[in-house]
Chains A and B, each alone.
Chain A
Protein backbone atom coordinates (compact mmCIF):
# COMPACT_ATOMS: atom_id res chain seq x y z
CA UNK A 1 0.00 0.00 0.00
CA UNK A 2 2.49 2.57 -1.14
CA UNK A 3 -0.06 5.26 -1.60
CA UNK A 4 1.28 8.28 -3.47
CA UNK A 5 -0.89 10.49 -1.36
CA UNK A 6 1.27 9.84 1.66
CA UNK A 7 4.60 10.72 0.09
CA UNK A 8 5.09 14.39 0.77
CA UNK A 9 8.67 15.47 0.59
CA UNK A 10 10.07 18.93 1.13
CA UNK A 11 11.06 19.23 -2.53
CA UNK A 12 7.52 19.22 -3.74
CA UNK A 13 6.08 21.84 -1.47
CA UNK A 14 6.96 24.77 -3.73
CA UNK A 15 5.42 23.13 -6.76
CA UNK A 16 2.08 22.57 -5.15
CA UNK A 17 1.52 26.28 -4.78
CA UNK A 18 2.06 26.99 -8.47
CA UNK A 19 -0.17 29.73 -9.83
CA UNK A 20 -1.28 30.28 -13.43
CA UNK A 21 1.75 31.44 -15.37
CA UNK A 22 1.85 35.23 -15.70
CA UNK A 23 1.64 35.10 -19.50
CA UNK A 24 -1.94 33.85 -19.33
CA UNK A 25 -4.81 36.29 -19.02
CA UNK A 26 -7.17 35.77 -16.11
CA UNK A 27 -10.77 35.27 -17.28
CA UNK A 28 -12.65 34.69 -14.04
CA UNK A 29 -11.68 35.96 -10.63
CA UNK A 30 -13.63 34.92 -7.55
CA UNK A 31 -12.81 36.73 -4.34
CA UNK A 32 -14.19 36.32 -0.82
CA UNK A 33 -17.21 34.37 -2.10
CA UNK A 34 -19.57 33.43 0.76
CA UNK A 35 -22.97 31.75 0.72
CA UNK A 36 -25.36 30.82 3.50
CA UNK A 37 -28.38 28.55 3.28
CA UNK A 38 -30.82 28.20 6.20
CA UNK A 39 -28.18 29.39 8.65
CA UNK A 40 -25.55 26.97 7.38
CA UNK A 41 -22.37 28.23 5.78
CA UNK A 42 -22.02 26.66 2.35
CA UNK A 43 -19.22 28.75 0.94
CA UNK A 44 -16.78 30.60 3.19
CA UNK A 45 -14.65 33.42 1.76
CA UNK A 46 -13.51 31.45 -1.21
CA UNK A 47 -10.90 32.83 -3.63
CA UNK A 48 -9.92 31.43 -6.99
CA UNK A 49 -8.98 32.52 -10.47
CA UNK A 50 -9.32 30.86 -13.83
CA UNK A 51 -6.86 31.41 -16.64
CA UNK A 52 -7.58 31.98 -20.31
CA UNK A 53 -7.58 28.31 -21.26
CA UNK A 54 -7.07 24.91 -19.67
CA UNK A 55 -8.90 22.47 -17.46
CA UNK A 56 -9.43 23.03 -13.76
CA UNK A 57 -10.57 20.06 -11.70
CA UNK A 58 -12.37 20.80 -8.44
CA UNK A 59 -12.24 17.93 -5.96
CA UNK A 60 -13.36 17.54 -2.39
CA UNK A 61 -15.68 15.60 -0.12
CA UNK A 62 -19.46 15.69 -0.53
CA UNK A 63 -21.01 18.81 0.94
CA UNK A 64 -17.84 20.84 0.46
CA UNK A 65 -19.80 23.35 -1.64
CA UNK A 66 -18.43 22.39 -5.05
CA UNK A 67 -21.79 22.44 -6.82
CA UNK A 68 -22.81 25.64 -5.05
CA UNK A 69 -19.60 27.28 -6.26
CA UNK A 70 -20.46 26.48 -9.88
CA UNK A 71 -24.05 27.64 -9.43
CA UNK A 72 -22.90 30.95 -7.93
CA UNK A 73 -20.49 31.53 -10.81
CA UNK A 74 -23.21 30.75 -13.36
CA UNK A 75 -25.78 32.94 -11.63
CA UNK A 76 -28.33 30.24 -10.78
CA UNK A 77 -27.72 31.18 -7.14
CA UNK A 78 -27.95 34.92 -6.69
CA UNK A 79 -27.76 35.68 -2.98
CA UNK A 80 -24.01 35.23 -2.47
CA UNK A 81 -21.63 37.72 -0.91
CA UNK A 82 -18.23 38.68 -2.27
CA UNK A 83 -17.18 39.35 -5.80
CA UNK A 84 -17.01 37.40 -9.04
CA UNK A 85 -15.31 39.22 -11.90
CA UNK A 86 -15.75 37.79 -15.36
CA UNK A 87 -13.65 39.29 -18.15
CA UNK A 88 -13.09 42.41 -16.06
CA UNK A 89 -16.77 42.99 -15.24
CA UNK A 90 -18.43 42.24 -11.89
CA UNK A 91 -20.99 39.52 -12.58
CA UNK A 92 -23.55 41.07 -10.23
CA UNK A 93 -23.68 44.05 -12.57
CA UNK A 94 -23.46 42.15 -15.82
CA UNK A 95 -24.42 44.72 -18.47
CA UNK A 96 -26.79 42.54 -20.49
CA UNK A 97 -28.58 41.06 -17.46
CA UNK A 98 -28.35 37.82 -15.54
CA UNK A 99 -29.73 35.71 -18.37
CA UNK A 100 -26.90 36.87 -20.61
CA UNK A 101 -24.43 36.06 -17.83
CA UNK A 102 -25.69 32.49 -17.72
CA UNK A 103 -25.22 32.31 -21.47
CA UNK A 104 -21.67 33.59 -21.04
CA UNK A 105 -20.83 30.97 -18.39
CA UNK A 106 -22.21 27.61 -19.45
CA UNK A 107 -23.16 25.13 -16.72
CA UNK A 108 -23.72 21.42 -17.30
CA UNK A 109 -25.51 19.55 -14.53
CA UNK A 110 -24.69 16.10 -13.22
CA UNK A 111 -27.95 14.60 -14.42
CA UNK A 112 -28.49 15.32 -18.10
CA UNK A 113 -31.76 17.12 -18.78
CA UNK A 114 -32.77 16.90 -22.41
CA UNK A 115 -35.94 18.56 -23.57
CA UNK A 116 -38.65 16.47 -25.21
CA UNK A 117 -37.86 17.49 -28.79
CA UNK A 118 -35.48 16.42 -31.54
CA UNK A 119 -31.70 16.26 -31.13
CA UNK A 120 -31.22 19.25 -33.42
CA UNK A 121 -33.81 21.29 -31.52
CA UNK A 122 -32.11 20.41 -28.26
CA UNK A 123 -28.78 21.74 -29.52
CA UNK A 124 -30.47 24.94 -30.61
CA UNK A 125 -32.62 25.20 -27.46
CA UNK A 126 -30.77 28.20 -26.03
CA UNK A 127 -30.90 30.11 -29.29
CA UNK A 128 -34.01 32.21 -29.59
CA UNK A 129 -35.32 35.02 -31.74
CA UNK A 130 -33.93 35.98 -35.12
CA UNK A 131 -30.90 33.71 -34.99
CA UNK A 132 -33.20 30.70 -34.66
CA UNK A 133 -34.65 31.32 -38.11
CA UNK A 134 -31.31 31.14 -39.93
CA UNK A 135 -29.86 27.94 -41.25
CA UNK A 136 -28.16 26.56 -38.18
CA UNK A 137 -27.01 23.19 -39.52
CA UNK A 138 -23.35 24.21 -39.41
CA UNK A 139 -23.66 25.31 -35.82
CA UNK A 140 -25.34 22.02 -34.88
CA UNK A 141 -22.61 20.05 -36.58
CA UNK A 142 -19.74 21.95 -34.98
CA UNK A 143 -21.26 21.81 -31.50
CA UNK A 144 -22.00 18.11 -31.71
CA UNK A 145 -18.47 17.51 -33.03
CA UNK A 146 -16.95 19.44 -30.13
CA UNK A 147 -19.05 17.37 -27.74
CA UNK A 148 -17.86 14.14 -29.43
CA UNK A 149 -21.40 13.14 -30.32
CA UNK A 150 -21.60 13.95 -34.03
CA UNK A 151 -20.53 10.52 -35.28
CA UNK A 152 -23.25 8.78 -33.31
CA UNK A 153 -26.20 11.01 -34.16
CA UNK A 154 -25.37 12.67 -37.50
CA UNK A 155 -27.86 10.47 -39.35
CA UNK A 156 -30.78 11.02 -36.94
CA UNK A 157 -30.77 14.66 -35.93
CA UNK A 158 -34.54 14.78 -36.13
CA UNK A 159 -35.10 11.88 -33.76
CA UNK A 160 -36.44 12.35 -30.24
CA UNK A 161 -33.53 13.27 -28.01
CA UNK A 162 -34.94 11.32 -25.07
CA UNK A 163 -34.23 8.02 -26.87
CA UNK A 164 -30.47 8.60 -26.51
CA UNK A 165 -28.48 6.77 -23.86
CA UNK A 166 -27.61 8.67 -20.68
CA UNK A 167 -24.00 9.11 -21.84
CA UNK A 168 -25.16 10.50 -25.18
CA UNK A 169 -27.66 12.76 -23.41
CA UNK A 170 -24.86 14.19 -21.29
CA UNK A 171 -22.82 14.98 -24.40
CA UNK A 172 -25.91 16.49 -25.99
CA UNK A 173 -26.16 18.79 -22.96
CA UNK A 174 -22.55 19.84 -23.54
CA UNK A 175 -23.29 20.52 -27.21
CA UNK A 176 -26.38 22.51 -26.18
CA UNK A 177 -24.34 24.64 -23.81
CA UNK A 178 -21.71 25.24 -26.50
CA UNK A 179 -24.30 26.40 -29.03
CA UNK A 180 -24.91 29.63 -27.12
CA UNK A 181 -21.18 30.39 -27.38
CA UNK A 182 -20.15 30.55 -23.75
CA UNK A 183 -16.79 32.01 -22.68
CA UNK A 184 -16.38 29.58 -19.78
CA UNK A 185 -17.71 26.04 -19.31
CA UNK A 186 -18.54 24.62 -15.87
CA UNK A 187 -19.36 20.92 -15.45
CA UNK A 188 -20.83 19.44 -12.26
CA UNK A 189 -19.71 15.78 -12.04
CA UNK A 190 -20.44 15.22 -15.73
CA UNK A 191 -19.41 11.57 -15.72
CA UNK A 192 -20.61 10.49 -12.27
CA UNK A 193 -22.99 7.79 -13.44
CA UNK A 194 -21.61 6.97 -16.86
CA UNK A 195 -19.91 3.93 -18.34
CA UNK A 196 -16.14 4.13 -19.15
CA UNK A 197 -16.69 4.57 -22.87
CA UNK A 198 -18.87 7.65 -22.42
CA UNK A 199 -16.42 8.93 -19.83
CA UNK A 200 -13.57 8.73 -22.33
CA UNK A 201 -15.57 10.52 -24.98
CA UNK A 202 -16.52 13.32 -22.62
CA UNK A 203 -12.94 13.69 -21.40
CA UNK A 204 -11.71 13.87 -25.00
CA UNK A 205 -14.26 16.53 -25.72
CA UNK A 206 -13.18 18.51 -22.63
CA UNK A 207 -9.53 18.36 -23.70
CA UNK A 208 -10.55 19.86 -27.02
CA UNK A 209 -12.62 22.60 -25.39
CA UNK A 210 -9.87 23.51 -22.94
CA UNK A 211 -7.71 24.73 -25.83
CA UNK A 212 -10.02 27.68 -26.39
CA UNK A 213 -11.70 28.41 -23.06
CA UNK A 214 -11.43 27.74 -19.35
CA UNK A 215 -13.15 24.49 -18.39
CA UNK A 216 -14.02 23.73 -14.75
CA UNK A 217 -14.88 20.13 -13.84
CA UNK A 218 -16.20 19.10 -10.44
CA UNK A 219 -15.40 15.44 -9.88
CA UNK A 220 -14.95 12.73 -7.29
CA UNK A 221 -12.85 10.57 -9.52
CA UNK A 222 -9.12 11.04 -8.90
CA UNK A 223 -8.22 8.98 -11.96
CA UNK A 224 -10.20 11.43 -13.99
CA UNK A 225 -8.34 14.36 -12.46
CA UNK A 226 -5.10 12.72 -13.52
CA UNK A 227 -6.36 12.06 -17.04
CA UNK A 228 -7.69 15.56 -17.46
CA UNK A 229 -4.40 17.19 -16.39
CA UNK A 230 -4.33 20.95 -15.95
CA UNK A 231 -4.67 22.42 -12.50
CA UNK A 232 -6.63 21.06 -9.58
CA UNK A 233 -8.40 22.69 -6.62
CA UNK A 234 -9.19 20.91 -3.40
CA UNK A 235 -12.27 22.22 -1.55
CA UNK A 236 -13.30 21.47 1.99
CA UNK A 237 -15.98 23.08 4.20
CA UNK A 238 -16.86 25.75 1.69
CA UNK A 239 -13.41 27.03 1.06
CA UNK A 240 -10.48 26.34 -1.23
CA UNK A 241 -7.72 24.84 0.87
CA UNK A 242 -5.21 23.66 -1.68
CA UNK A 243 -4.50 24.22 -5.32
CA UNK A 244 -1.90 23.44 -7.91
CA UNK A 245 -0.90 21.40 -10.86
CA UNK A 246 -3.08 18.30 -10.79
CA UNK A 247 -0.27 15.74 -10.86
CA UNK A 248 1.56 17.50 -8.05
CA UNK A 249 -1.56 17.93 -5.94
CA UNK A 250 -2.44 14.28 -6.30
CA UNK A 251 1.07 13.02 -5.56
CA UNK A 252 2.08 15.37 -2.80
CA UNK A 253 -0.84 16.89 -0.97
CA UNK A 254 0.17 19.32 1.75
CA UNK A 255 -2.93 19.59 3.92
CA UNK A 256 -4.08 16.89 6.28
CA UNK A 257 -7.69 17.11 4.94
CA UNK A 258 -6.50 16.56 1.40
CA UNK A 259 -4.38 13.59 2.41
CA UNK A 260 -7.22 11.98 4.29
CA UNK A 261 -9.56 12.45 1.36
CA UNK A 262 -7.04 10.96 -1.06
CA UNK A 263 -6.37 8.05 1.25
CA UNK A 264 -10.03 7.09 1.37
CA UNK A 265 -10.44 7.60 -2.35
CA UNK A 266 -7.39 5.44 -3.00
CA UNK A 267 -8.91 2.66 -0.94
CA UNK A 268 -12.03 3.00 -3.07
CA UNK A 269 -10.24 2.54 -6.36
CA UNK A 270 -7.23 0.22 -6.13
CA UNK A 271 -6.10 0.99 -9.66
CA UNK A 272 -4.88 4.33 -8.39
CA UNK A 273 -2.24 2.65 -6.25
CA UNK A 274 -0.56 1.07 -9.27
CA UNK A 275 0.46 4.37 -10.75
Chain B
Protein backbone atom coordinates (compact mmCIF):
# COMPACT_ATOMS: atom_id res chain seq x y z
CA UNK B 1 0.00 0.00 0.00
CA UNK B 2 2.85 2.32 0.93
CA UNK B 3 4.58 1.53 -2.34
CA UNK B 4 1.46 2.19 -4.29
CA UNK B 5 0.80 5.59 -2.76
CA UNK B 6 4.41 6.59 -3.18
CA UNK B 7 4.31 5.70 -6.86
CA UNK B 8 1.00 7.48 -7.34
CA UNK B 9 2.37 10.54 -5.60
CA UNK B 10 5.50 10.71 -7.73
CA UNK B 11 3.61 10.21 -10.97
CA UNK B 12 1.08 12.92 -10.12
CA UNK B 13 3.74 15.27 -8.82
CA UNK B 14 5.91 14.83 -11.92
CA UNK B 15 2.95 15.34 -14.20
CA UNK B 16 2.17 18.51 -12.29
CA UNK B 17 5.78 19.67 -12.72
CA UNK B 18 5.60 19.08 -16.46
CA UNK B 19 2.31 20.98 -16.69
CA UNK B 20 3.60 23.85 -14.53
CA UNK B 21 6.71 24.05 -16.65
CA UNK B 22 4.91 24.16 -19.99
CA UNK B 23 2.01 26.26 -18.66
CA UNK B 24 4.07 29.02 -17.12
CA UNK B 25 6.56 29.21 -19.94
CA UNK B 26 3.70 29.68 -22.38
CA UNK B 27 1.64 31.97 -20.18
CA UNK B 28 4.60 34.21 -19.36
CA UNK B 29 5.50 34.69 -22.99
CA UNK B 30 1.93 34.87 -24.29
CA UNK B 31 1.46 38.61 -23.50
CA UNK B 32 4.41 39.36 -25.74
CA UNK B 33 3.06 37.46 -28.72
CA UNK B 34 -0.39 38.98 -28.12
CA UNK B 35 1.04 42.52 -28.14
CA UNK B 36 3.57 42.20 -30.91
CA UNK B 37 2.45 39.23 -33.00
CA UNK B 38 5.05 37.09 -34.69
CA UNK B 39 6.80 39.92 -36.53
CA UNK B 40 9.59 40.37 -33.92
CA UNK B 41 11.02 37.01 -34.96
CA UNK B 42 12.16 38.52 -38.27
CA UNK B 43 12.87 42.09 -37.21
CA UNK B 44 16.37 43.11 -36.34
CA UNK B 45 16.12 45.86 -33.71
CA UNK B 46 16.29 45.03 -30.00
CA UNK B 47 16.03 48.14 -27.81
CA UNK B 48 14.01 47.34 -24.69
CA UNK B 49 13.87 51.05 -23.76
CA UNK B 50 12.06 51.85 -26.97
CA UNK B 51 9.93 48.73 -26.87
CA UNK B 52 11.64 47.29 -29.91
CA UNK B 53 12.08 43.54 -29.61
CA UNK B 54 13.57 42.00 -32.74
CA UNK B 55 14.78 38.42 -32.31
CA UNK B 56 16.76 38.28 -35.51
CA UNK B 57 20.22 39.33 -34.21
CA UNK B 58 20.15 36.70 -31.49
CA UNK B 59 18.77 34.03 -33.80
CA UNK B 60 21.47 34.75 -36.40
CA UNK B 61 24.10 34.81 -33.65
CA UNK B 62 22.98 31.45 -32.23
CA UNK B 63 22.90 29.95 -35.72
CA UNK B 64 26.41 31.16 -36.56
CA UNK B 65 27.85 30.00 -33.26
CA UNK B 66 26.42 26.49 -33.64
CA UNK B 67 27.47 26.26 -37.30
CA UNK B 68 31.07 27.12 -36.38
CA UNK B 69 30.96 24.68 -33.49
CA UNK B 70 29.61 21.83 -35.64
CA UNK B 71 32.05 22.54 -38.46
CA UNK B 72 34.89 21.92 -36.02
CA UNK B 73 33.46 19.41 -33.56
CA UNK B 74 31.83 17.06 -36.09
CA UNK B 75 35.00 16.09 -38.00
CA UNK B 76 37.11 16.02 -34.84
CA UNK B 77 34.58 14.08 -32.79
CA UNK B 78 33.84 11.58 -35.53
CA UNK B 79 37.54 11.08 -36.19
CA UNK B 80 38.14 10.57 -32.46
CA UNK B 81 35.37 7.97 -32.37
CA UNK B 82 36.75 6.12 -35.40
CA UNK B 83 40.30 6.24 -34.06
CA UNK B 84 39.26 4.94 -30.65
CA UNK B 85 36.96 2.18 -31.89
CA UNK B 86 38.61 1.04 -35.12
CA UNK B 87 42.29 1.95 -35.01
CA UNK B 88 43.65 1.93 -31.48
CA UNK B 89 44.03 -1.37 -29.63
CA UNK B 90 41.85 -2.05 -26.60
CA UNK B 91 44.40 -0.89 -24.02
CA UNK B 92 44.29 2.73 -25.19
CA UNK B 93 40.51 2.98 -24.94
CA UNK B 94 40.73 3.98 -21.28
CA UNK B 95 42.92 6.97 -22.10
CA UNK B 96 40.60 8.26 -24.83
CA UNK B 97 37.56 7.79 -22.62
CA UNK B 98 39.29 9.59 -19.76
CA UNK B 99 40.04 12.56 -22.02
CA UNK B 100 36.46 12.66 -23.25
CA UNK B 101 35.20 12.43 -19.66
CA UNK B 102 37.41 15.33 -18.63
CA UNK B 103 36.10 17.36 -21.55
CA UNK B 104 32.51 16.55 -20.60
CA UNK B 105 33.07 17.10 -16.90
CA UNK B 106 34.51 20.60 -16.97
CA UNK B 107 31.65 22.93 -15.98
CA UNK B 108 30.40 25.48 -18.45
CA UNK B 109 31.51 28.42 -16.33
CA UNK B 110 35.08 27.09 -16.22
CA UNK B 111 35.05 26.91 -20.01
CA UNK B 112 33.97 30.53 -19.95
CA UNK B 113 36.91 31.39 -17.71
CA UNK B 114 39.30 29.49 -20.00
CA UNK B 115 37.77 31.33 -22.95
CA UNK B 116 38.36 34.71 -21.34
CA UNK B 117 41.90 33.86 -20.30
CA UNK B 118 43.14 32.01 -23.39
CA UNK B 119 40.84 32.37 -26.36
CA UNK B 120 40.02 36.08 -26.26
CA UNK B 121 43.64 37.34 -25.96
CA UNK B 122 44.70 34.90 -28.66
CA UNK B 123 42.01 36.09 -31.06
CA UNK B 124 42.72 39.69 -30.15
CA UNK B 125 46.43 39.42 -30.94
CA UNK B 126 46.24 37.23 -34.00
CA UNK B 127 43.25 38.76 -35.73
CA UNK B 128 43.80 42.32 -34.57
CA UNK B 129 40.45 42.73 -32.83
CA UNK B 130 39.35 45.24 -30.27
CA UNK B 131 38.68 42.77 -27.47
CA UNK B 132 38.34 39.31 -28.97
CA UNK B 133 34.68 39.05 -27.97
CA UNK B 134 33.14 37.57 -31.10
CA UNK B 135 30.94 34.91 -32.63
CA UNK B 136 34.11 33.05 -33.60
CA UNK B 137 35.15 32.84 -29.95
CA UNK B 138 31.71 31.57 -28.97
CA UNK B 139 31.78 29.01 -31.79
CA UNK B 140 35.24 27.74 -30.87
CA UNK B 141 34.27 27.37 -27.22
CA UNK B 142 31.03 25.60 -28.13
CA UNK B 143 32.98 23.25 -30.39
CA UNK B 144 35.02 22.08 -27.41
CA UNK B 145 31.88 21.74 -25.30
CA UNK B 146 29.89 19.61 -27.76
CA UNK B 147 32.88 17.48 -28.77
CA UNK B 148 32.31 14.87 -26.02
CA UNK B 149 28.63 14.44 -26.96
CA UNK B 150 29.52 13.80 -30.59
CA UNK B 151 32.43 11.51 -29.78
CA UNK B 152 30.60 9.37 -27.24
CA UNK B 153 27.45 8.86 -29.28
CA UNK B 154 29.45 8.17 -32.45
CA UNK B 155 31.54 5.63 -30.56
CA UNK B 156 28.33 3.91 -29.49
CA UNK B 157 27.03 3.97 -33.06
CA UNK B 158 30.25 2.40 -34.40
CA UNK B 159 30.34 -0.25 -31.66
CA UNK B 160 26.75 -1.17 -32.46
CA UNK B 161 27.69 -2.15 -36.02
CA UNK B 162 27.46 -5.92 -36.00
CA UNK B 163 30.81 -7.65 -36.28
CA UNK B 164 29.48 -9.92 -39.02
CA UNK B 165 29.39 -6.88 -41.34
CA UNK B 166 33.04 -6.19 -40.64
CA UNK B 167 33.93 -9.83 -41.31
CA UNK B 168 31.77 -10.14 -44.41
CA UNK B 169 33.46 -7.05 -45.85
CA UNK B 170 36.95 -8.26 -45.03
CA UNK B 171 36.29 -11.74 -46.46
CA UNK B 172 35.52 -9.97 -49.71
CA UNK B 173 38.98 -8.45 -49.59
CA UNK B 174 37.94 -4.84 -48.91
CA UNK B 175 40.80 -2.94 -47.30
CA UNK B 176 40.54 -0.83 -44.15
CA UNK B 177 39.39 2.43 -45.67
CA UNK B 178 36.98 0.68 -48.05
CA UNK B 179 35.43 -1.10 -45.07
CA UNK B 180 35.19 2.21 -43.21
CA UNK B 181 33.50 4.12 -46.00
CA UNK B 182 31.32 1.41 -47.52
CA UNK B 183 30.28 -0.55 -44.41
CA UNK B 184 30.97 1.10 -41.05
CA UNK B 185 30.01 4.70 -41.70
CA UNK B 186 26.80 3.89 -43.62
CA UNK B 187 25.75 1.45 -40.89
CA UNK B 188 26.57 3.88 -38.08
CA UNK B 189 25.06 6.83 -39.92
CA UNK B 190 21.71 6.99 -38.05
CA UNK B 191 23.58 7.08 -34.75
CA UNK B 192 26.02 9.71 -35.96
CA UNK B 193 23.16 11.82 -37.29
CA UNK B 194 21.32 11.81 -33.99
CA UNK B 195 24.62 12.49 -32.20
CA UNK B 196 25.02 15.68 -34.19
CA UNK B 197 21.39 16.68 -33.67
CA UNK B 198 21.65 16.22 -29.91
CA UNK B 199 24.96 18.09 -29.87
CA UNK B 200 23.30 20.92 -31.80
CA UNK B 201 20.58 21.09 -29.18
CA UNK B 202 23.14 21.12 -26.40
CA UNK B 203 25.13 23.85 -28.08
CA UNK B 204 22.08 26.02 -28.68
CA UNK B 205 21.15 25.85 -25.00
CA UNK B 206 24.64 26.52 -23.69
CA UNK B 207 24.56 29.77 -21.74
CA UNK B 208 27.29 30.80 -19.37
CA UNK B 209 30.38 30.10 -21.45
CA UNK B 210 28.87 31.72 -24.52
CA UNK B 211 27.74 34.73 -22.48
CA UNK B 212 31.28 35.36 -21.28
CA UNK B 213 32.90 35.44 -24.73
CA UNK B 214 30.28 36.50 -27.26
CA UNK B 215 30.24 40.20 -26.41
CA UNK B 216 26.47 40.55 -25.95
CA UNK B 217 25.85 43.28 -28.50
CA UNK B 218 22.57 43.08 -30.38
CA UNK B 219 23.78 43.40 -33.91
CA UNK B 220 23.43 41.23 -36.94
CA UNK B 221 26.95 40.57 -38.25
CA UNK B 222 27.81 43.19 -40.88
CA UNK B 223 28.47 41.92 -43.53
CA UNK B 224 26.62 38.73 -42.75
CA UNK B 225 29.76 36.57 -42.69
CA UNK B 226 31.65 38.83 -40.30
CA UNK B 227 32.27 36.46 -37.43
CA UNK B 228 34.86 38.63 -35.73
CA UNK B 229 32.48 41.22 -34.34
CA UNK B 230 30.78 40.99 -30.93
CA UNK B 231 27.24 39.66 -31.22
CA UNK B 232 24.44 38.07 -29.23
CA UNK B 233 22.91 34.60 -28.96
CA UNK B 234 19.47 33.75 -27.61
CA UNK B 235 20.90 32.29 -24.44
CA UNK B 236 23.34 35.11 -23.80
CA UNK B 237 20.53 37.64 -24.19
CA UNK B 238 18.33 35.87 -21.67
CA UNK B 239 21.24 35.48 -19.28
CA UNK B 240 22.27 39.12 -19.57
CA UNK B 241 18.88 40.78 -19.29
CA UNK B 242 16.79 38.49 -17.12
CA UNK B 243 18.29 39.89 -13.96
CA UNK B 244 17.43 43.46 -14.95
CA UNK B 245 13.95 43.04 -16.40
CA UNK B 246 11.14 43.90 -14.04
CA UNK B 247 8.45 41.30 -13.49
CA UNK B 248 5.55 41.53 -15.89
CA UNK B 249 7.11 44.20 -18.10
CA UNK B 250 7.14 43.75 -21.84
CA UNK B 251 10.91 43.13 -21.73
CA UNK B 252 10.25 40.33 -19.26
CA UNK B 253 7.73 38.62 -21.50
CA UNK B 254 9.94 39.23 -24.55
CA UNK B 255 12.73 37.34 -22.78
CA UNK B 256 10.28 34.57 -21.86
CA UNK B 257 9.31 34.43 -25.52
CA UNK B 258 13.00 34.00 -26.39
CA UNK B 259 13.10 31.11 -23.95
CA UNK B 260 10.02 29.56 -25.55
CA UNK B 261 11.50 29.84 -29.06
CA UNK B 262 14.73 28.25 -27.82
CA UNK B 263 12.81 25.43 -26.13
CA UNK B 264 10.80 24.70 -29.26
CA UNK B 265 13.95 24.55 -31.42
CA UNK B 266 15.72 22.22 -29.02
CA UNK B 267 12.65 19.99 -28.56
CA UNK B 268 12.34 19.67 -32.31
CA UNK B 269 16.01 18.65 -32.57
CA UNK B 270 15.59 16.10 -29.81
CA UNK B 271 12.51 14.58 -31.42
CA UNK B 272 14.31 14.41 -34.78
CA UNK B 273 17.29 12.81 -33.10
CA UNK B 274 15.33 10.09 -31.33
CA UNK B 275 12.49 9.24 -33.69
CA UNK B 276 14.21 7.53 -36.65
CA UNK B 277 16.46 5.43 -34.44
CA UNK B 278 13.44 3.90 -32.77
CA UNK B 279 12.01 2.95 -36.13
CA UNK B 280 15.27 1.31 -37.14
CA UNK B 281 15.42 -0.71 -33.94
CA UNK B 282 11.91 -2.03 -34.48
CA UNK B 283 12.49 -3.03 -38.12
Q: Which residues of A contact B (CB under 8 A)?
A: 74, 76, 97, 99-104, 106-109, 111, 113, 115-116, 125-126, 128, 173, 176-177, 180
Contacts and interface: CB of A to CB of B under 8 A. Distances in A.
Contacts of B171: 74, 76, 102, 106-109, 177
Contacts, number: 54
B129 interface: no
B15 to A, nearest CB: 40
Q: Which 7 A-B pairs have the closest CB atoms?
A: A103-B173, A126-B172, A113-B168, A107-B171, A99-B175, A113-B164, A102-B173
24 contacts: A97-B175, A99-B170, A102-B172, A103-B172, A104-B173, A106-B171, A107-B171, A108-B171, A109-B164, A111-B164, A113-B162, A113-B164, A113-B165, A113-B168, A116-B186, A125-B172, A125-B182, A126-B173, A126-B174, A128-B174, A128-B182, A176-B172, A177-B172, A180-B172
A109 B170 contact: no
Interface in B166-186: 167-175, 178, 182-183, 186
Given A115-B183, A125-B182, A180 B167 contact: no
Nearest to B171: A107
A126 B175 CA distance: 10
A55 B172 CA distance: 21
Given A126-B169, A128-B178, 4 more contacts: A76-B167, A113-B168, A116-B186, A180-B172
Given A99-B175, A128-B178, A128-B182, A76 B168 contact: no
Instruction: Give the size range of B's interface with the partner.
Output: 10 to 19
Contacts of B169: 125-126
Most buried by A among B162, B168, B170, B187: B168
A177 B169 CA distance: 10
A224 to B, nearest CB: 22
B170 A76 contact: yes
Nearest to B172: A126
Contacts of A74: 171
B168 A99 contact: no
Interface in B53-79: none
